[in-house]
Amino acid sequence: WVPIKGNDWYWIRHHIQVGMNVIVEIL
């Protein structure tokens, strides 16, 4: 993906949190 306005960490954390929630729901 392409970094947007230096909000890389925000998007990374957001996707990690969403991914973790999905994994928890699956488990």
Per residue in 1-27, pLDDT (tens digit) is 565 676 777 788 888 888 888 888 887
Per-residue exposure over 3-27, b if at least 16 CB sit within 10 Å of its own CB, e if not = eeeeeeeeeeeeeeeeeeeeeeeee
What pLDDT, on the 0 to 100 scale, is given for residue 4?
Answer: 60
- Residue ranges per structural domain of the chain: 1-27
Place of tokens 């890389």: 8
pTM: 0.41
Amino acid at 1: W
